[in-house]
Each structure stands twice: as structure tokens, then as C-alpha cells.
């Protein structure tokens, strides 16, 4: 376990030592602050408190989707850049199994998404607190948790898809393209019964909150969670099987 943690640290450093690493955090911070100010200026009564604002920002309809996109962009390059730079050769001859190496990359990607969502919530709450105050009704915390949690799930699903594409194609562009296309496609719902088994309508779990209606009749929260779990297992299964067996030419 200790050696696995060290591998995750390695992966995290590979991401964070890049100069571009702070750009997504900067974008999130700037948008969260500017939007808070703009809403106060032009739509003063729309947002009640910092809690409202945070829940709104971190939901998949707010900025959560954008966070997923940033996570997809970072995940897309994780495997292909090792191939592209040629560093994969050194990485895989150090006595750590390929499965472990790939798992450490996936965990680092998850940590990245998680850190972005936490950052988004912290900045939103801070700027909301300054502009709107922190008065709140009961259940305000719960709303934030639902919004942030469903955004995290949303990000994880598309990151897993992108991760798989990165392993399979070894191309940053292809992985990013597929990941982004999937995020865009998730907005489209085909009102047919078979479609509920497709990934897209299930990704946004926040539709079940507040007694909301699922995109297609017959879908429930446990059903969606099960479908997502199956897809994630498939994505990761394909990634690990391919990565373990691949000849590094």
C-alpha cells in the first residue's frame, strides 16, 4: 500500500509540476468570483445566500459540467503523454506491476477531479459569503452535497471513459475528443425505453433530487447507479486488460 501511495504521489507530481496545472484552478476561481458579482449586480434577488450560490455553481447544470471537461482534458493526456515522451519505457521497468502503475494514474486523475470540485465549492462559498451572506434554510448543506456529489460522479464517469480511450488509442486528441463529445451528447435524451440502458441519461444523478423526474420513465436512482457502475467497470476493465498486455514498441 505504501508503494502504491508513492506511485500516486509520482503521478500527482507529474501533473502538478507542469506550468499549466494551475490554469483550471484559476479559471474556476475567476468564473466563480465574477459570476457571483455579476449575479448580485444584475439579478440581485436570484441568489439568496452563499449556500444557494455554492449549490448552484457546483451542480452539473452550473459549473460542474465544466469541471468534468477540465478533468477530461487532464485525464486524456495521462497515458498518451507517457507514450509520446517515451517515458513509459522507464516507468514500466522499475519492478512495479503495470496494473499498479495504471491504477495509480487513475487514482491521481480522481484526486484531480475531486480537488477541482472542492476548490469550486470553497471559492463559490467564499465569494457567496462576501456578497450574499451566510443565512440559510434547513437542508442548505444537503443541497451543496447533492450538487457537488453528483458533479463528482459525473466527472468520474467521463474521466473513466476518457481514461480508457487514452489507454486504447495512446492519443491525447482522440481521448479528449471522445470525452468531450460524450459530455456534449449527455444533454440529448432519446425518449425511448432502450435508451435508459445507455450511459448518457444516467450520468447526472442530481435529477433524482427534490423529487425530480428522471429523463426516461422507469429509471430510478439505484438503477442509474447500477448502470454507471457497470459502465465504469467496463471502461476500467478494458483499460487494464489492454495496458497489461500491450507491447511497448
Residue with cell 449586480: 41
Q: Is 43 in the site for another protein (CB under 8 A)?
A: no
Q: Provide the minimum distance between the beta carbon of 172 and another protein in the complex, in angstroms, as a whole number.
A: 16
Our CB check for another protein shows the closer of 209 and 242 to be 242
Distance (Å, rounded) from C-alpha 239 to C-alpha 106? Answer: 10
Selected binder of another protein within 23, 44, 89, 139 (CB under 8 A): 89
Selected binder of another protein within 44, 86, 99, 237 (CB under 8 A): 86
Selected binder of another protein within 23, 37, 46, 87 (CB under 8 A): 87
DSSP symbols for 32-87: HHHHHHHHHHH-TTT--SHHHHHHHHHSIIIIIHHHHHHHHHHHHHHHHHHHHHTT
Q: Is 248 in the site for another protein (CB under 8 A)?
A: yes
Distance (Å, rounded) from C-alpha 150 to C-alpha 200? Answer: 14
* Burial annotation 129-143 (CB, 10 A radius, 16+ → b, else e): bebbeeeeeeebeeb
Q: Is 245 in the site for another protein (CB under 8 A)?
A: yes
Selected binder of another protein within 23, 30, 46, 85 (CB under 8 A): 85
Binding site for another protein (CB under 8 A): 2-3, 6-7, 9-10, 13-14, 17-19, 85-87, 89-90, 92-97, 245, 247-249
Amino acid at each position: 500500500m505504501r508503494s502504491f501511495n508513492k506511485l500516486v504521489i509520482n503521478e500527482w507530481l507529474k501533473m502538478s509540476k507542469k506550468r499549466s496545472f494551475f490554469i483550471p484552478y484559476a479559471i474556476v476561481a475567476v468564473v466563480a468570483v465574477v459570476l457571483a458579482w455579476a449575479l448580485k449586480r444584475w439579478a440581485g434577488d436570484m441568489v439568496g445566500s452563499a449556500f444557494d450560490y455554492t449549490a448552484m455553481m457546483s451542480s452539473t447544470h452550473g459549473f460542474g459540467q465544466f469541471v468534468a471537461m477540465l478533468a477530461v482534458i487532464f485525464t486524456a493526456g495521462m497515458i498518451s503523454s507517457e507514450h509520446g515522451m517515451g517515458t513509459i519505457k522507464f516507468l514500466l521497468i522499475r519492478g512495479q506491476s503495470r496494473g499498479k502503475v495504471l491504477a495509480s494514474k487513475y487514482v491521481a486523475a480522481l484526486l484531480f477531479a475531486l480537488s477541482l470540485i472542492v476548490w469550486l465549492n470553497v471559492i463559490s462559498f467564499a465569494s457567496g459569503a462576501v456578497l450574499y451572506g451566510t443565512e440559510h434554510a434547513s437542508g442548505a448543506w444537503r443541497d451543496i452535497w447533492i450538487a457537488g456529489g453528483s458533479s463528482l460522479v459525473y466527472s468520474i464517469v467521463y474521466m473513466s471513459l476518457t481514461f480508457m480511450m487514452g489507454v486504447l488509442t495512446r492519443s491525447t486528441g482522440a481521448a479528449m475528443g471522445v470525452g468531450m463529445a460524450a459530455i456534449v451528447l449527455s444533454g440529448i435524451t432519446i425518449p425511448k425505453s432502450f435508451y435508459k440502458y445507455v450511459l448518457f441519461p444516467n450520468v447526472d444523478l442530481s435529477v433524482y433530487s427534490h423529487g425530480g423526474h428522471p429523463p426516461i420513465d422507469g429509471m430510478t436512482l439505484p438503477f442509474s447507479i447500477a448502470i454507471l457502475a457497470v459502465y465504469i467497470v467496463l471502461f476500467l476493465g478494458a483499460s487494464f486488460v489492454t495496458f497489461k498486455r500491450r507491447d511497448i514498441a
